[in-house]
Amino acid sequence: MHNLLDLKEKIHFMTLEVIRQLESVKRIIRNPDPQVADRVKNRDDLIDNYKAVIENICFSRIHGHHYLTREEADFVRAVNIISNNLERISDFAVNILGQLNHLHDMKTMQSYRYRHYFQQITISLELVVQGLFNRDHELALRICKSEFIVDKLFKKSFRQILEDLHSADNKSDLITCLFIFRYLERMGDSMLNIGEAIIFSVFGEKLKIHQYHALMENLGSMDNELSFEEIGFESIWESRSGCRIGKIMDSGQRNGQAVLFKEGRIEKIAREKANIEKWKSIFPSLVPRIISYSQNSKNASMLMDFLQGCSVQDTVLSRDRESMDNAAFILKETLSIIWHDTLENTAVKPDFISQMIQRLDDVIMIHPEFNFSDFDNSLSRPLPEKLLQILSKIETELSSPFSVFIHGDFNTNNILYNQKNQQIYFIDLHRSRYGDYVQDISVFLVSNYRMPVFYPDVRRAINKINKTIFCFANQFAAENSDKTFHARLALGLIRSFYTSTRFELNRELSRSMYNRSLQLAQLLLAHQGKPWRDFSVPRNIFDYP
C-alpha cells in the first residue's frame, strides 16, 4: 500500500490528536484550567481539518486514475469510517467541556469513576493504528470490546446517580454528571464502529461484532476448522427480513465447497432451521443441509450447504427461453410431488386480507393515493375500511378442502434452478407451514409480474411462465375438487398486487399492480350471492401492460 502512505500518516496523526484531546479533558476534570480548555477547542478544529483532508484523500483514491486492489480499497473505506468516528469522539470531548461549565462543584464529578471511562477509551484508541495498519482482527476485537465495557460503566454510573438523586442537595450537578457520562458512553459506540471498520478492512465485508462472533462460532464447529485468515466472505442476496446472508469459501482452495452463513433474529432463524428439517423429511434434495447452528439470547445463526444455481427470477430475465421453459417444467414436477406427498384432508381458511391489512400503512406511506378512494363498482362505492371488511367477509366463505406443506414466501428469488443437475431448490424457508397452496401460487405470480423490466421479449417471457404455473395450479385444483380455487386466488392476488407496491417506486408499474387489485376486488364484489365455484380469475390479469 505504498501509494496510501499519505493516508496512513493522516489517520495516524488524527488518532494521536484525539488521544491528546481525551487526556486534556481528563486533566480539566481533575484540575480546571482555562488554557487547557482553549487547547481542547483549538484541537477540535485541527481534528475537523484532518477529517476533511482524509475524506478528500479517500474519495480521490477511490475515484482516481490509479488502480486500487480490493485490499487497498477496503483499507481506504475503513480509514474514512474511522476518521468520521474519531471526529465524533473529539466532538463529544468538546461537549463534555461545555457540560463542565455547568458544574457548581467539580468534586461531584470526581466522586464517580470517570477515570475508568477515559482509561478504557484511551487504551482502545492506542490500538487503532496498529490494528488498522497490521490488519489485526484480534486488536479490532479488543477495540470493539471497549464499547461493552464502557456500556457497563455507564449503567453503573446511571444507577448510582439515580440513587443519589433521592437524597442529594446538588441535584443539578448530578444531572450534569449524567450528561457527561452519556457523552463518554457515546464515545464507546464510536469505538465499536472503529473496531468494526478494522474488521471490514481485514475481512472485506461489513460485519457487526455479534455477526462476527456468530460466524466464528459456526466455523469452529466444522470438521475442517478454518481460521479467520483462511476464509473468504461474500455477501449475497438482498434480504428484506433483516438477516445477514453470506457465502463463505476457503480462500486456499479454488474449487473448494462453499457454505452459506445466515444470521438474524432468533425467532426467524430458529423457525427456518425447524422448517428445513421438516422439508428434509419430505423432499431431502430440495433444501440445503444444515452444517451448524448457534444462538444467544437475541440472535441465532447457521451454516448451510451453498446451493449452486440461478434464481428462477434470473432465469426468466436471462432471455434464454429454453432454460426458462425447462425451469418451469421442473418447478411444476417438483410442486406436483410436494403437493401430492404432503396433502392432508384438512380444510384450511385463507388469511390474505389480514395480511393485506398488516401492510396497509406501509403501502400508504409510499403511495398515499393507493387508498381505494378511486374504487369504482356499479353496485356500490365503499370506503377503504368498508371494502376490506367486505373482502374479509368473502374470505370467511372460502376454504381449501385440503392443506399441503407450502414454502410460505414463494417469490421467484427464493427458488433456485440448477440447469446442470436439473434440480429445483427452495431457500429462505422461515414461513413454511401447512396451509393453502394458493398462498404460494399468488405470491409467485405477482413476484414475476412486479419485475421492473419492460423489454417486450422479457415481458412475454414473464407472461408465459405465469400462465404456465397458473394453468398447472388450476389443473391441480380441478383434479382435487378444489371448487373455490379461483376465488381464493383472486384474494391472494389482491393481497400480493397491492402489498407489492410498497417495494416499487416506478409509477406506471405500481399503478398497474394497484389497478389489478382494484379490478379483482370489483369482480369479487360483483359475484357476491352467486356460487363461488362459478367465479373465474381473468386470464389476462398477469399480462403487462
At 507-542, the pLDDT tens digits run 999 999 999 999 999 999 999 999 999 999 998 898
The answer on 284 and 321 residing in a single domain is: no
Exposed e or buried b per residue across 111-140, where buried means at least 16 C-beta atoms within 10 angstroms of its C-beta: ebebebbbbbbeebbebbbebbeebebebb
Q: Which three cell numbers stand for residue 492?
A: 391472494
Look up the domain containing 348 and give its range: 310-542
37-66 pLDDT per residue, tens: 999 999 999 999 999 999 999 999 888 767
Same domain, 223 and 200: no
Q: Are residues 150 and 288 in the same domain?
A: no
pLDDT (tens digit, 9 = 90+) per residue, 343-385? Answer: 999 999 999 999 999 999 999 999 999 987 766 554 444 456 7
Same domain as 298, residue 193 = no
CATH no. for residue 227?
3.30.200.20
Which position has the higher pLDDT, 161 or 216? Answer: 161
| Domain match, 176 and 249 both | no
Q: Is the pLDDT of residue 324 over 60?
A: yes
| Whether 467 and 392 share a structural domain | yes
Closest CA to 417 of 307, 255, 288: 307
Q: What is the dihedral of CA 190, 191, 194, 196, to 10 degrees?
A: -100
How far apart CA 23 and CA 123 sit, in angstroms, is 11
Question: Which of 257, 284, 305 is a domain's end point?
Answer: 305
Contact (Cβ atoms closer than 8 angstroms) between residue 304 and residue 260? yes
Whether residues 197 and 233 fall in one domain: no
Identify the band that residue 228 occupies on the pLDDT scale cut at 50, 70 and 90.
low
Instruction: Please tell me the predicted confidence (pLDDT) of residue 379.
Output: 41
Q: What is the pTM of this model?
A: 0.81
CATH of the domain at 344: 3.90.1200
Cell of 468: 404456465
Domain boundary pick from 277, 305, 333? 305
| Distance separating alpha carbons of residues 544 and 348, to the nearest angstrom | 32
User: In angstroms, rounded to a whole number, what is the distance separating the alpha carbons of residues 31 and 267?
Assistant: 52
Which amino acid, one-letter code, is at 48? Answer: D
According to DSSP, the β-strands at 404-406 and 299-305 are: unpaired
pLDDT in tens, 460-491: 999 999 999 999 999 999 999 999 999 999 99
Q: Are both 349 and 492 inside the same structural domain?
A: yes
232 and 118 belong to one structural domain: no
Tell whether 332 and 254 lie within a shared domain: no
Specify whether 297 is located in the same domain as 321: no
Q: How many domains does the chain have?
A: 3
254 lies in the same domain as 363: no
Give the pLDDT score at 241: 60
Q: According to the 3-state scheme, what is the secondary structure of 157-173?
A: HHHHHHHHHCCCCCHHH
Cα–chain center distance at 456: 33
Residue with cell 407450502: 406
CATH code at position 102 = 1.20.58.220
How far is it between the farthest Cα atoms of the chain? Answer: 89
Q: For residues 348 and 476, what is the distance between their CA atoms, to the nearest angstrom?
A: 17
The mean per-residue pLDDT over the stretch 121-143 comes to: 95
Last residue of a domain, one of 204, 234, 252: 204
